[in-house]
């Protein structure tokens, strides 16, 4: 939808509508590279708007904490037509993207946002955001295997995993399964599954319970909530360390 340039500038938080009009009249605003000096100009979502040579941010930033169900792809679309996480956010005009990925068959905490800067920071290995997973695995996990997980195990790609926290939550001899909690800050493909496989315990079920200081409290599978301003600020700070 085309809207007046000064309105779009005001919505993007550049300045009030009045002040934006003055900026236009002063020749400080370009649309698609061309200086615009009249107030009648209309623009749509495809137009590139610059003020004093800086691109303006058109969309309001939104942040969601989603309890991803099993059987959903962590992407904005899927070639095979399977359900994707963004299918849960179709009522909003802002397009959101998942921050990192959870496997199709993994459930749990996934952040979605249109704030590319925050997403890139959080996904950057340098920031080492802790994530806690709970896995149901085949077999009875032994203490020495926990120790290996804690110091790092050699993965399929030949690289060693970083230090991790690992503990047994329960053991079930009858069904020959264990429930373990694993906290890691790396995010390599299938990392938790590969770590547990490396100590001889294939994963049967996996859930991500925490992401940094965030938890799934109050949500059931398929539900989401908006992050508070304080949480967004704290995530930025996580990414500053
Ligand atoms: N590790 C995995 O193996 N799978 C996930 O979905 C997330 C972490």
CA gap 230, 153 in Å, rounded:
36
Among the candidates 55, 78, 99, a domain finishes at 55
62 in ligand 1 pocket by Cβ < 6 Å? no
- Residue 40: CATH number of its domain: 3.10.290.10
Q: Residue 164 pLDDT more than 90? A: yes
Shared-domain flag, residues 115 and 104? yes
- Cα of 144 from ligand 1 centre, angstroms: 23
Which tens digit of pLDDT belongs to each residue from 92-151? 777 889 999 999 999 999 999 988 778 988 988 888 899 999 999 999 999 999 999 999
Task: Indicate which residue of 91, 103, 105, 115 is catalytic.
Answer: 103
- Residue 207: CATH number of its domain: 3.30.70.1560
pLDDT attached to residue 126: 85
Q: Residue 73 pLDDT more than 70? A: yes
110 in ligand 1 pocket by Cβ < 6 Å? no
Shared-domain flag, residues 142 and 206? yes
Nearest to 68 by CA among 111, 113, 108, 98: 108
Task: Please count the structural domains in the chain.
Answer: 3
Shared-domain flag, residues 115 and 227? yes
Question: Computed over its alpha carbons, how large is the radius of gyration of the chain?
Answer: 23
Banded pLDDT at 60 (limits 50, 70, 90): confident
Nearest CA to ligand 1 atom 2: 190
- In three-state secondary structure terms, 151 is helix
Shared-domain flag, residues 69 and 37? no
Nearest to 61 by CA among 110, 118, 122: 118
Rounded-to-10 torsion of CA 106, 66, 132, 230: 170
Determine whether 103 is an active site residue. Answer: yes
CA gap 195, 200 in Å, rounded:
9
- Cα of 13 from ligand 1 centre, angstroms: 38
6 in ligand 1 pocket by Cβ < 6 Å? no
Q: Which domain holds residue 94?
A: 63-126+214-240
Among the candidates 16, 36, 55, a domain finishes at 55
């Amino acid at each position: 939808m085309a809207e007046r340039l000064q309105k779009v500038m005001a919505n993007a938080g550049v300045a009030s509508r009045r002040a934006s009009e003055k900026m236009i009249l002063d020749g400080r605003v370009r649309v698609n590279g061309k200086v615009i000096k009249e107030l009648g100009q209309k623009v749509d979502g495809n137009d590139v708007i610059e003020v004093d040579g800086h691109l303006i941010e058109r969309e309001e930033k939104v942040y969601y904490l989603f309890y991803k169900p099993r059987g959903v792809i962590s992407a904005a679309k899927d070639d095979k037509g399977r359900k994707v996480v963004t299918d849960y956010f179709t009522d909003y005009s802002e397009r959101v993207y998942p921050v990192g990925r959870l496997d199709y068959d993994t459930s749990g905490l996934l952040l979605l946002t249109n704030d590319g800067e925050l997403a890139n920071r959080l996904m950057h290995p340098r920031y080492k955001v802790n994530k806690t997973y709970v896995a149901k695995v085949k077999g009875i996990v032994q203490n020495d295997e926990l120790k290996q997980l804690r110091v790092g195990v050699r993965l399929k790609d030949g690289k060693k995993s970083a230090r991790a926290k690992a503990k047994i939550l329960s053991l079930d001899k009858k069904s020959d399964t264990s429930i373990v909690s694993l906290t890691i800050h790396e995010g390599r493909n299938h990392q938790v599954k590969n770590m547990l496989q490396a100590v001889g315990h294939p994963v049967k079920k996996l859930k991500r319970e925490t992401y940094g200081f965030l938890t799934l409290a109050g949500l059931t599978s398929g539900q989401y909530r908006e992050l508070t301003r304080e949480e967004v600020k704290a995530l930025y700070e996580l990414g500053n360390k």
